[in-house]
Amino acid sequence: MAKKTIKVTQTGSPIRRDPSQRKTLIGLGLNKMHRTVELEDTPSIRGMVQKVHHLVQVAD
């Protein structure tokens, strides 16, 4: 059975944000505007996305 994934796209700039939010974006594999990554849908990834929800857009 295939693992469920989500697509996360960075839509906001990390300039003038908390260093922890910048590190969270890097942890998600995002570091430039309009980049998209496909990640496994786990509670830890969902928590990271929630922390920077104002900087990213999520598609299932």
Q: How many CA atoms lie within 13 A of 45 on its CB side?
A: 16
Entry pTM: 0.91
Choose the CATH number for 5-59 among 3.40.50.10470, 3.30.1390.20, 3.40.1110.10, 3.30.720.110.
Answer: 3.30.1390.20
pLDDT above 70 as % of the chain: 100
pLDDT tens digits, one per residue of 21-43: 999 999 999 999 999 999 999 99
